[in-house]
Structures are given as C-alpha cells and as structure tokens.
Amino acid sequence: MDDDTEDRGRVLLPIARSSISTALGQPADADESAPWLAEPGACFVTLRQNRQLRGCIGTLEAYRPLLQDVKANAQAAALRDPRFSPLKRAEFSQIQIEVSLLTPKETLQFTSEAHALEQLQPDVDGVIIEYGRHRSTFLPQVWEQLPSVAEFMLHLKQKAGLPGDFWSEELAIYRYRVSKWAEKYDEKGKE
C-alpha cells in the first residue's frame, strides 16, 4: 500500500468516527482539510461490534464530495441500517469502523451465467446485480464468508429478492474494486 493510500485511511476513519459521535450528541472534530475530500467519491461505511456486523451503508456511484459521502454513510450505518436498531451512545466506544472507497463500476459482458461467473475474481471484486427493480451488492470483503463464486452469486440474488437459481439475459452485472481501511480493535476511539 502506498503512502497516499495509507494517508487517506488516516483521514477517512477519524471523519467517519467524528460524524457518528456528533450524531450521537457528542460533537467531535476531525481533520477535513485534505483537498481530495472535495472530489466526488463513493464509499461504504461498515460498523462491527465484537467482530460482528453492526451496520453497513454506502453509495455505489460518486455523486457528491467524498467528505459528504463518508459523513452521511457513517451516520446512516450507525442510525439507519434497517437490519439493526440505532446505535446507542453507550455502544459507541465498542464499535470498529471500516471505510471502503469504491472505484467506478464496470459492466460485465457475458453470454451465460457461467460466462459471467468465470469473470468474477474472488476477494477482489465487489459485485452489483440489477434486474428490473431488484438490485443488490456485496463488497469484496463478503468473499471471506462466501468464497465460492456460485455461493456468492446465490446469496447476492437472494439479497436482491430474487430466487437463488434465477437467471435472465436481462440481468445486469457490474463489478468494482475497493480500497479499505479499518480501525484496529485496540485503536478504536483514539484520535
């Protein structure tokens, strides 16, 4: 990892933590002066508590400055992920924050489901599927729990509200990559 990439993590993680802290009524500051924060960016913010998922919200396409995206997604992951109750102030010191910065999505071209699956790179690709009003994504980190391409796709379809064996020539599949940074469990809360 180059210094620039590491430096971005040192900037983004405190911004995410500060944003959640402020939303919980404990205003906190973080350095927001890096010029690249004003450029459009898309990210996901993932929260873990005791190494278990506690919230994950993100943006698939850059449409606002990265600074705004990180802050909004951090607060949404803490307070508005529909899978979890809102984070309480007492839990805040127990969470670990991860920020994943997404590359622009790439459309996969394929002639069959098997052809599409051959193109996916486990542990590297984040994947988006779309069919009509059905849409879902898994970050590359999900490969850790679902290492087989077939199983990964089955769960991605189910997340979108489609049957696991669903296939249509009209299914759109995209991939993207991420740069990610996570607080270490012994560092959370430190500035």
Tens of pLDDT, residues 33-51: 999 999 999 999 999 999 9
CB proximity list for 22: less than 8 A, separation 6 or greater: 28
Identify whether the C-beta of residue 98 lies closer than 8 Å to the C-beta of residue 45.
yes
- Tell whether the model's pLDDT for residue 153 goes beyond 50: yes
Average pLDDT of the residues in 2-9: 73
C-alpha to C-alpha distance for 75 and 81, rounded to whole angstroms: 9
Average pLDDT of the residues in 116-122: 96
Average pLDDT of the residues in 123-130: 97
- Tell whether the model's pLDDT for residue 190 goes beyond 50: no
Q: What average pLDDT does the chain have?
A: 93
- CA nearest neighbour of 173 among 142, 136, 147, 143: 136
C-alpha to C-alpha distance for 173 and 34, rounded to whole angstroms: 34
- CA nearest neighbour of 139 among 109, 182, 96: 182
Identify whether the C-beta of residue 55 lies closer than 8 Å to the C-beta of residue 81.
yes
Q: What pLDDT band is residue 189 in, cutting at 50, 70 and 90?
A: very low
Distance of CA 79 to the CA centre of its chain: 16
Residue recorded with tokens 């190494």: 51
Concatenated DSSP letters of 25-48:
T---------GGGGSB--EEEEEE
Query: Distances from the Cα of 32 to the Cαs of 61, 70, 168, in angstroms?
Result: 21, 11, 45
- Tell whether the model's pLDDT for residue 3 goes beyond 90: no
